[in-house]
Structure 1
Amino acid sequence: MEDFNKLLQELQQQEDLIQFIEFTNDTAYEIGTWLVDIGRREGKSFTVDICRNGQQLYHYALPGTTPDNDEWIKRKNRVVNRFNHSSYFMGIYYKSRNTTIEEKHFLNPEEYAPHGGSFPIIIKNVGVVGTITVSGLPQEEDHRLVVQVLMEFLGL
């Protein structure tokens, strides 16, 4: 339980720190391309998706991905858009309370996936306006990759 609480604090700190002043279509392109470049360079297989206010601004599937990755992205994005936290945060939250998204909120796990990889696009003094999502790696790695790129992008 204590490990979960520490991890939840770390994940909350990431969300408190990784915030934008603005998020344009060009921002989505730059971040998406950065993620894809890392995947190519490291020989990884994942799909990248960036949405703002319900509009998909960037989507790319590296070789080796399948339509299943797109479905995981949709399910992870629903979690972020519903709870305004990263999908990984929510997954750890449920584990820390020994429950599931279905038991706690009566949400269908076929529609909502509280698994790592979707991070909220947070505008300072505004709130969550979208999602940056990776699907295809182990969930902790999906999450870590997005966070790493966002921190570098923002110079943190």
Structure 2
Amino acid sequence: MNETDRWQAACEHALADENTLDYDRFGHDDAWALGSRIVEFAAAQRHPIAVAIVFGEQRVFHAALAGSAATNDDWLARKFRTVARHNCSSWAMACRVRANGGDFFAESGYAPADFALAGGAVPLRVRGSLIGAVGVSGLAEEDDHRVVIDAMRAHLITCGGSGAR
């Protein structure tokens, strides 16, 4: 498998994963529960991460674990803008760009200071509508993405969400 095919497959896998995560409802209490779940997992693994959940532009959960830095918060903000603009995870977008090649920032007109092509932010959807995002920063980008996907899936099972559409 060549690099282009590898990145295209990674993009398709990321999109398939995130499209199974659709909640019937998701409020502030859910944000606290999901964010706390991620923090508990990361603390047990001693992962130096920042975790955030946003509803639109409102940050409704944030935690910074030992070893994380303000830089992680900047990465989260840029990853969240990528999710909001493209309605897919920052990891899926990064993989898509790597598969297609070219200069994403020159072609899109986006500034690297505003958008991130790195895994770790996943769309938060209620009944198919994008309401925000869940993000992690501090690990390798694919690991950031996987932590969020796994936690969102566990929370979906716990809260009885609607699942794939």
Question: Match for 2:81: what amino acid?
Answer: R
Indicate the SS of the match to 1:99: coil
Q: 1:134 aligns with which of 117, 120, 136?
A: 136
Query: Paired residue for 2:55?
Result: 52
Q: CA RMSD in A?
A: 1.2
- Write the distance in 2 (CA, Å) between the matches of 1:73 and 1:114: 11
TM-score (norm 2): 0.90
Query: Paired residue for 1:29?
Result: 32
Q: After TM superposition, give the deviation of residue 99 of structure 1 in Å.
A: 2.3
Q: 1:14 aligns with which of 17, 33, 37?
A: 17
Query: Paired residue for 1:81?
Result: 84
Indicate the SS of the match to 1:56: strand
Query: Paired residue for 1:65?
Result: 68
- Write the distance in 2 (CA, Å) between the matches of 1:88 and 1:6: 12
- Write the distance in 2 (CA, Å) between the matches of 1:99 and 1:110: 18
Indicate the SS of the match to 1:17: coil
Say if 2:145 is the partner of 1:148.
Answer: no
- Write the distance in 2 (CA, Å) between the matches of 1:101 and 1:109: 10
Which has the higher relative contact order, 1 or 2, with Cα contacts under 8 A spaced 6 or more apart? 2
TM-score (norm 1): 0.95
Query: Paired residue for 2:96?
Result: 93
Query: Paired residue for 2:160?
Result: none
Unaligned runs of 5+ in 2: 158-162
Q: After TM superposition, give the deviation of residue 103 of structure 1 in Å.
A: 2.6
Indicate the SS of the match to 1:80: helix
Q: After TM superposition, give the deviation of residue 122 of structure 1 in Å.
A: 1.1
Q: 2:125 aligns with which of 112, 122, 125?
A: 122
Indicate the SS of the match to 2:19: helix
Q: After TM superposition, give the deviation of residue 16 of structure 1 in Å.
A: 1.5
Percent identical pairs in the alignment equals: 26
1:81-135 Cα deviation digits (max 9, x unpaired): 111010001101110011243033110011100100000001124x211010000
* Superposition misfits of 4+ residues, deviation over 6 angstroms: none
Indicate the SS of the match to 2:53: strand
